[in-house]
Amino acid sequence: MTAQSGISERAQSALEDDFLRQAVRFTADRLRGKKQVSTEQLGNWESWRERGQAIRAHTIANLDSYLAQFADRVRQAGGHVHFASDAAEAVEVVLSIARGKGARSVVKSKSMVSEEVHINHHLQNAGIEVVETDLGEYIVQLANETPSHIIIPAIHKTRAQIRDLFTAAGGEQLTTDTKTLAGFARQRLRQKFLAADIGITGCNFGIAETGTVVLFTNEGNADMVANLPKTHIVLMGMERLLPTLEDLEVFANLLPRSATGQPLTAYLSMITGPRRRGDLDGPEELHVVVLDNGRSRQLGDPHFQAVLHCIRCGACLNVCPVYRQIGGHAYGSVYPGPIGAVLTPLLQQDETYADLPYASSLCGACAEACPVKIPLHDMLVRLRQRRAATGRTPALEKSAFHAYRVAFANHRRYRLAFGTARVLQRPLVQDGGIANGVGPLSAWTATRYAPAVAPRSFRARWGELRQTLHGPSGGSRTSEDGDARRQEEGTRDA
Amino acid sequence: MREADFLRRISERLGRPQPTVPPHRMEIGAPDFWRNPAAHAYAPAERFARELEQVGGMAVSCSSLADLRTKLHDLLAQWQPRRIGTWGGNFVQEMGLNSVLAPYEWIRWGDGGTDAFAHVDVAITGCAFAVAGTGTIVMESSPERGRSVAVLPPVHVVLLRTSQLRHRMGEVLEELAQRKPVLPASIHFITGPSRSSDIENDQTIGVHGPAAVYVLIWPDGAGQP
Ligand code: SF4
Cα atoms found within 13 Å of the Cα of residue A233, Cβ hemisphere only: 29
pLDDT of A451 above 80: no
Helix, strand, or coil here: A85?
coil
What pLDDT is stored for residue A439 in this prediction? Answer: 30
What pLDDT is stored for residue A16 in this prediction? Answer: 57
What pLDDT is stored for residue A388 in this prediction? Answer: 78
In whole numbers, what is the pLDDT of chain A averaged over residues? 77
Q: Select the more confidently predicted residue: A148 or A96.
A: A96
pLDDT of A400 above 70: no
- pLDDT averaged over 10-residue windows placed end to end, chain B, 225 residues: 95 94 92 93 95 93 96 95 95 96 95 84 96 97 93 94 97 93 94 82 78 94 50
Smallest Cβ distance to B189: which of A157, A268, A275?
A268
What pLDDT is stored for residue A393 in this prediction? Answer: 56
Q: Select the more confidently predicted residue: A342 or A250.
A: A250
Q: Which of A22, A25, A46, A65 to mutate to test the interface with B (most CBs of B within 10 A)?
A: A65
* Nearest atom (ligand 1) to Cα of A366: 3
Residue nearest to atom 2 of ligand 1 (CA): A370
Distance CA A324, CA A484 (A): 22
* Nearest atom (ligand 1) to Cα of A258: 8
What pLDDT is stored for residue B155 in this prediction? Answer: 93
Mean pLDDT of A268-293: 96
The strands making up B165-166's β-sheet, listed across from edge to edge, are A241-242, A205-207, A212-217, A267-271, B186-190, B136-140, B129-131, B165-166
Q: Are A250 and A55 in contact (CB under 8 A)?
A: yes
Distance CA A203, CA A193 (A): 19
Q: Decide if B55 and A23 are in contact by the 8 Å CB cutoff.
A: no
- The Cα-based distances of A427 to A325, A493, B102 in angstroms read 20, 17, 76
Q: Which of A312, A320, A342 to mutate to test the pocket of ligand 1 (most atoms within 8 A of CB)?
A: A312
Mean pLDDT of A303-323: 90
- For the entire predicted model, the pTM comes to 0.82
Give the bridge partners for B85, in sequence order.
Answer: B107, B123
Phi-psi region of A371 (alpha: psi -120 to 50; beta: other; left: phi over 0): alpha
pLDDT of A427 above 50: no
pLDDT tier, A13 (very low <50, low <70, confident <90, very high otherwise): low
What pLDDT is stored for residue A470 in this prediction? Answer: 41
- For B148-187, the pLDDT digits (tens) are 998 889 899 999 999 999 999 999 999 999 987 889 999 9
Distance CA A220, CA A109 (A): 10
What pLDDT is stored for residue A333 in this prediction? Answer: 76
Q: Are B60 and B115 in contact (CB under 8 A)?
A: no
Q: Decide if B170 and A249 are in contact by the 8 Å CB cutoff.
A: yes
pLDDT tier, A362 (very low <50, low <70, confident <90, very high otherwise): confident
What pLDDT is stored for residue B3 in this prediction? Answer: 96
What pLDDT is stored for residue A43 in this prediction? Answer: 83
CA-nearest of A285, A139, A134 to A198 is: A285
Identify whether A392 is part of a domain. Answer: no
Q: Decide if B174 and A71 are in contact by the 8 Å CB cutoff.
A: no
Mean pLDDT of A183-187: 85
Q: Decide if A266 and B174 are in contact by the 8 Å CB cutoff.
A: no
* Nearest atom (ligand 1) to Cα of A337: 4
What pLDDT is stored for residue A337 in this prediction? Answer: 84
Chain A residues whose beta carbon lies within 8 Å of the beta carbon of residue B199 = 135, 139, 154, 159, 162, 178, 181-182
Kindly state whether A191 is in contact with chain B, defined as any CB-CB distance less than 8 angstroms.
no
- Report the run of H or E that residue A287 belongs to, with start and end: strand A285-291
Task: For chains A and B, count residue pairs whose Cβ atoms are closer than 8 Å.
Answer: 273
Distance CA B12, CA B9 (A): 5
Smallest Cβ distance to A154: which of B55, B185, B198?
B198
Distance CA A60, CA A154 (A): 32
pLDDT tier, A387 (very low <50, low <70, confident <90, very high otherwise): confident
Identify whether A310 is part of a domain. Answer: no
DSSP state of B133: G
Residue in A closest to B152 by C-alpha = A224
DSSP A253-277: HHHHHHHHS-SS-SEEEEE-SSPPT
Distance CA A179, CA A73 (A): 42
Q: Are B120 and B146 in contact (CB under 8 A)?
A: no
pLDDT tier, A353 (very low <50, low <70, confident <90, very high otherwise): confident
In chain B, where does DSSP find H-type helix?
3-14, 32-35, 44-54, 65-79, 91-94, 98-101, 169-177
- Report the run of H or E that residue A132 belongs to, with start and end: strand A129-132
Q: Are A74 and A81 in contact (CB under 8 A)?
A: yes
Q: Are A106 and A200 in contact (CB under 8 A)?
A: yes
Q: Are A317 and A336 in contact (CB under 8 A)?
A: yes
Q: Decide if B110 and A280 are in contact by the 8 Å CB cutoff.
A: yes
Residue nearest to atom 8 of ligand 1 (CA): A313
What pLDDT is stored for residue B222 in this prediction? Answer: 54
Identify whether A435 is part of a domain. Answer: no
- The sign of the torsion formed by the CA atoms of A304, A376, A21, A265 equals positive
- Cβ atoms within 10 Å, residue A381: 17
Total structural domains within chain A: 2
- For A159-180, the pLDDT digits (tens) are 888 899 989 888 888 888 888 8
Q: Decide if B196 and A219 are in contact by the 8 Å CB cutoff.
A: yes
| Of A237, A269, A293, the domain-final residue | A293
Mean pLDDT of A465-482: 36
Amino acid at A33: G
| Of A262, A293, A324, the domain-final residue | A293
CA B171 to ligand 1 center in whole angstroms: 27
What pLDDT is stored for residue A1 in this prediction? Answer: 39
Identify whether A453 is part of a domain. Answer: no
Amino acid at A302: P
What pLDDT is stored for residue B4 in this prediction? Answer: 96
Smallest Cβ distance to B23: which of A27, A65, A273?
A65
Give the bridge partners for A350, in sequence order.
Answer: none
Give the bridge partners for A129, in sequence order.
Answer: A105
* Three-class DSSP labels, A299-312: CCCCCCHHHHHCCC
CA-nearest of A352, A402, A411 to A381 is: A402
| Domain assignment of residue A469, given as a range | 458-493
Residue in B closest to A155 by C-alpha = B200
- For A120-139, the pLDDT digits (tens) are 999 999 999 999 998 888 88
- Report the run of H or E that residue A206 belongs to, with start and end: strand A205-207
Identify whether A340 is part of a domain. Answer: no
Identify whether A172 is part of a domain. Answer: yes
Mean pLDDT of A291-296: 96
Distance CA A71, CA A273 (A): 11
Q: Are A289 and A90 in contact (CB under 8 A)?
A: yes
In B62-154, DSSP assigns E strands to 84-86, 106-108, 122-125, 129-131, 136-140
Cα atoms found within 13 Å of the Cα of residue B37, Cβ hemisphere only: 3
> Cα-Cα-Cα-Cα dihedral of A36, A42, A43, A46, to 10°?
-70
Q: Are A119 and A235 in contact (CB under 8 A)?
A: yes
pLDDT tier, A79 (very low <50, low <70, confident <90, very high otherwise): very high
pLDDT tier, A429 (very low <50, low <70, confident <90, very high otherwise): very low
Q: Decide if A280 and B208 are in contact by the 8 Å CB cutoff.
A: no
Q: Are A196 and A107 in contact (CB under 8 A)?
A: yes
Alpha-carbon gap: B66 to the closest alpha carbon of chain A (Å):
30
Helix, strand, or coil here: B106?
strand
Lowest mean pLDDT among A241-245, A340-344, A419-423, B195-199: A419-423
Identify whether A327 is part of a domain. Answer: no
Contacts of B179 (CB under 8 A, 6+ apart): none
- The Cα-based distances of A384 to A308, A391, A408, B34 in angstroms read 19, 11, 14, 41
At the top level of CATH, which class does the domain B42-195 belong to?
alpha beta
pLDDT of A449 above 60: no
Distance CA A142, CA A120 (A): 13
Residue in B closest to A212 by C-alpha = B183
What pLDDT is stored for residue A5 in this prediction? Answer: 64
pLDDT of A295 above 80: yes
| Of A268, A293, A318, the domain-final residue | A293
CATH code where residue A120 lies? 3.40.50.10420
Domain ranges of chain B: 42-195
Identify whether A489 is part of a domain. Answer: yes
Kindly state whether A178 is in contact with chain B, defined as any CB-CB distance less than 8 angstroms.
yes
Contacts of A36 (CB under 8 A, 6+ apart): A261, A468, A469
What pLDDT is stored for residue A391 in this prediction? Answer: 65
Distance CA A379, CA A401 (A): 16
**Does ligand 1 lie within 6 Å of residue A314's CB atom?**
yes
